Amino acid sequence: MPIWILVSVAAATFQTVRFMLQKSLSAVKLSAAGATFARFAYSAPLVALLLALYLAASGRSLPALSPTFWGFVAVGGTAQILATVCVVALFKQRNFAVGITFKKTEVIQTALVGFLVLGEGISFGGLIAILLGLAAVLILSKTPGGTGKWWQHLTNRASMLGIGSGVLFAFSAVSYRGASLELGTLEPAFRAAVTLSAVTLFQMTTMGAWLFWRDRGELRAVWQTRRTGVFVGLTSMGGSFCWFWAFTLQNAAYVKAVGQVELILSLLASILFFKETITRREILGIALLGASILALIIAI
């Protein structure tokens, strides 16, 4: 089995645990912005420290970081901040599994963004997968007990947050792949570490400055929840490193497609950990989106 598939599965596992922790934080003390910042605040120093230790032990130096590299870092980092805020806010609207499923429209959108930005094409089978995914989104867009035409439900708060996060995560994934490709022929794991360190430091600095300006109380709340926040940082670091590593090895859309194993993990978390109820309609939507991912994998 190719290593990028194993790394993608590991990334999805870390990410599921991290979103569970962020959901818990947002439900107790932190706003969506605070729960998002906790991820970067507790992961960026760890990533930078590990990279520095590796450079010192190996005697290597950082590669040249071009303006294009930093452009990809800025676009991807900003998009990921906004996407994560959307997902955490979405958890307040719908249950955990459906929130993650809305987020997972990023797979379909990553294929489109990858084509537009990096010229990475989509096969006919990939197009079929996109249509299946669209059908799943339409099913999931209807809130429990909602009435009216299907297109009216695409404009509710939960649907807009979910689909919006998918668009933003798609831009971040493609930007991260673009940044790692700018580092040339270095080994994939090293490229992933350098890119991840640059991105997380950018995110911690920019979001920290924004909260300091707009909501200093939220910064104190992030510190007060540090016992959980540290684990958010650790799982974020593990998941992000695996995602970045996989992006250096394979088309971002394919990496995200394999990462759909997160759907199964999030469903288990929703039922077993958060004790939430999954409706038959939501199960149908999740299953259909899972089928679209399987079709995309087969099309690779």
Structure tokens given for 253 = 């859309």
Place of tokens 């990279």: 51
CB count within 10 Å of CB 66 equals 13
4 touches 243 (CB < 8 A): no
- Structural domain tally of the chain? 1
Task: State which residues of the chain have pLDDT below 70.
Answer: 1, 19, 22-30, 32, 91-104, 122, 130, 134, 137-138, 140-156, 263-264, 267, 274, 276, 293, 296-297, 300
In sign, the C-alpha dihedral spanning 227, 195, 257, 115 is positive
The per-residue pLDDT for range 80-94, each reduced to its tens digit, is: 888 877 877 776 665
Structure tokens given for 14 = 């870390």
Concatenating the DSSP letter of every residue in 147-184 gives -S-GGGGGGSHHHHHHHHHHHHHHHHHHHHHHHHHTTT
Residues in the chain: 300
pTM: 0.77
pLDDT computed for residue 74 by the predictor: 96
pLDDT computed for residue 41 by the predictor: 86
Q: Structural domain of residue 167, as residue ranges?
A: 3-299
Average pLDDT, whole number, for the chain? Answer: 79
pLDDT computed for residue 20 by the predictor: 72
52 touches 60 (CB < 8 A): no
